[in-house]
A and B are shown apart, each in its own frame.
Chain A
Amino acid sequence: RKEVEQDPGPFNVPEGATVAFNCTYSNSASQSFFWYRQDCRKEPKLLMSVYSSGNEDGRFTAQLNRASQYISLLIRDSKLSDSATYLCVVNRGGNTPLVFGKGTRLSVIA
């Protein structure tokens, strides 16, 4: 079983739609959680960190459920520029590496 699992998609949504991505992680020692965005043939870039209390950054909302070992990302009012692959990432803290999911591909269509 992969340490971080995501639905690979693709999710094809119209502009203005709300879309949600889910992610589960298997290692209960995970301490830090993130969503990264990766455009085609580019490097991953940090979109937002995810906190237990939930956090919001503009149109993006991230949630963490430690009991269920589940992370989500909600994108409201989708824009064409949101088209990308969204990577769920966890970390066990200290000097341990980032552990990435396979990514969920989103296409926002005009």
Chain B
Amino acid sequence: ETGVTQSPTHLIKTRGQQVTLRCSSQSGHNTVSWYQQALGQGPQFIFQYYREEENGRGNFPPRFSGLQFPNYSSELNVNALELDDSALYLCASSPAMRGRVDGYTFGSGTRLTVV
């Protein structure tokens, strides 16, 4: 059973640029959630995708957008990058929209630095 994989592992971007982060969910998991973890903070919920549709969103502006594909992998896109977007971006997959909450599996994250 493969876990959640995220790419790239590290990324440096310039303010104003756009970035796409990728996540492959664990086999058998159809729900993907994205979290942003700034230094010294806990992860903050960005949004969740279930069967290719956004199914919940946290307090993030519209320049944070996402997609889920038929194979349940997902992308997080951030436009017009700001310095405060520098963070660890975590993807988590789970087996079902209303499944066991402790079925979440986190990827190792993408560390984004905006300069």
Q: Which of A8-41 contact B (CB under 8 A)?
A: 8, 32, 34, 41
Q: B10 to chain A: closest CB distance in Å? A: 10
Q: B58 to chain A: closest CB distance in Å? A: 7
CA distance A41 to B37 in the complex (A): 11
Residues of A in contact, count (CB < 8 Å): 24
Contact of A42 with B108 at beta-carbon distance under 8 Å, contacts A97-B58, A100-B43, A103-B42 already known: yes
Question: Are A43 and B106 in contact, CB atoms less than 8 angstroms apart?
Answer: yes
- Cβ of B48 within 8 Å of any chain A Cβ, yes or no, is yes
Question: Are B102 and A4 in contact, CB atoms less than 8 angstroms apart?
Answer: no
Question: Are A43 and B45 in contact, CB atoms less than 8 angstroms apart?
Answer: no
Q: B100 to chain A: closest CB distance in Å? A: 9
Using Cβ atoms and an 8 Å threshold, which residues of chain B touch A94? 97-98
Q: List 6 A-B contacts (CB under 8 A).
A: A4-B42, A43-B109, A44-B90, A91-B101, A93-B101, A103-B41
Where the two chains meet, the residues of B that have a C-beta atom closer than 8 Å to any C-beta of A are: 31, 33, 35, 40-45, 48, 50, 55-56, 58, 88, 90, 92, 97-98, 101-102, 104, 106-109, 111
